A and B are shown apart, each in its own frame.
Chain A
Amino acid sequence: MMAGTFLGYERENGDVGVRNWVGIVSIMDNTNPITRAVCNAVQGTLPITTLFVRGQYGRDLEITYNTIAGMARNPNIASVVLIGLEGQTTEEIARRIRPSGKRIEMVTVQDMEGGTIGAVADATRKSARLAIAASGLRRKQFPASMLRIGVECGGSDTTSGLSCNPTIGRMSDRLVDDGGTIIISETSEFFGAEHLFAQRAADPEVRQKFLDRVTGLEREAMSIGMDIRGTNPTPDNIRGGLTTIEEKALGAMVKSGSSPLVGVLDYGEAPVRKGLHFLAAPAPAVENMTAMAAAGCQMIFFGTGVGNPIGNMVSPTVKVSGNVNTLRKMPENIDFDVTDILEKGSAVAPIGDRLYDFALQVASGTRTTSEVLDQRETAISRFGATI
């Protein structure tokens, strides 16, 4: 493999996947059991489940539709089988996936003979055909510029800001230098660091859009009348030595490296250009990574201190830690060990360069701990009530 390249799966629209799953997609929470049954029956499929949808409305429903469709459009998905209760909502999602050019099959329970038994049988048949078709695709060499990587942190402690996050930051700079895309998110984890990040905005409009997202969320949080400490930083963050949200934010931001901020995205949106983007989405890892997968990230790099093993379904998640105790207690949940930074005083840059090489290996098929141990979950954030 040439430097700055990886082996991926070319999609109909020119995107490149690092995995090649048939996505079995629940259109509503009430079809999740069918989705899981189909995935148990057919190798090469991936369950993309959801909660709610029924009863959601307005902006909240729009975000949910875009997020489900975004995960289905992710380049790691070869083709999709949509599992709906009724046809109209299923078509709403299908319409948003079609521009990707992927093959889409639909199964709607109310239109089946035989209820859920019939739906499972029909979806199993369709999924098996798609899985065999997908397996015929071969990996080819592509430049790293085709990669879009989400940078995340969770189970943070004070080692995060000193070791794993700066290492991820170096990888972020390498990918942006090679013409690729980095997405950093977790809006609340800019409280106290936003003035530094805002300086990197490519133009005043991007700067203002970013600051509006951060101050808007803080205002909303404060309207509850509580100190957010204890919720964020979380109890395990505090046990790990993080004292305030400001301290956590300053350590979290370094995952983005040092390149200019070129765009700001909202939940359910995907970038239209290359370079560093900010995605306004809630900080907890599962819902945040769901937004990253919907934004088309083929991989997520996840810095952890005290240890948070969860990964995303669609977007293989690489766990990076620099906490010696975590490496001792849960080594099988960590993909990349950066403990030399604190233990031996090793420089960050060469370790970050190795992490970038590792990113290209994972992009080429090397599997991650959260994939092989199936520590993966999906949760679309809610922004409104149901009726």
Chain B
Amino acid sequence: MSRAIVLNAADNVATLIDSGRAAEPCKLQGEASLTLTISSDIPFGHKVCVRDLAAGAEVLKYGQVIGRASQAIRAGDHVHTHNVEAARGRGDQTGGAK
């Protein structure tokens, strides 16, 4: 079983402090204490979703917005660049406009 830390009660992601294996349980620590099942392998230090997120939902860590879900994300899913968009430094979206 792997462990993951929830930093703020509002957070919808937790940070793994072990490597997580698909279909195995992950125990949440810190500001949450449930155990969830990981849907795919998650490397040490990467994030797991702790609450289902709709596409476009704000991703919260430290109780702050760290980006937006670019697709629906289920609790237990790996949360990273493949399903989260940054909101800042996005010259690609403004077409280079200042």
Contact = CB atoms under 8 A, between A and B. Distances in A.
Interface stretch (A59-67, A144-152, A158-166): A158-166
B45 A323 contact: yes
A196 B61 CA distance: 14
A223 interface: yes
A221 B44 contact: no
A158 to B, nearest CB: 4
Contacts, number: 114
Interface magnitude class on chain A: 35 or more
Contacts of A345: 29
A305 B86 contact: no
Interface in B72-98: 79-81, 84-98
Contact of A225 (B15, B17, B91): B91
B88 A245 contact: yes
A339 to B, nearest CB: 10
B45 A157 contact: yes
Nearest to A325: B44
Interface string A191-205: 111001000000000
A361 to B, nearest CB: 29
Contact of B88 (A192, A225, A226, A305): A192
A387 to B, nearest CB: 26
Contact of A162 (B7, B44, B59, B66): B7
Nearest to B65: A246
A266 interface: no
A250 B8 CA distance: 13
Interface string A234-274: 00001011011111001100000000000000000000000
B21 interface: no
Nearest to A323: B45
A146 to B, nearest CB: 34
A238 B81 CA distance: 8
A-B pairs, 3 with minimum CB distance: A225-B96, A228-B89, A222-B91
Interface of B: 5, 7, 15-17, 29, 43-47, 59, 61-62, 64-67, 79-81, 84-98
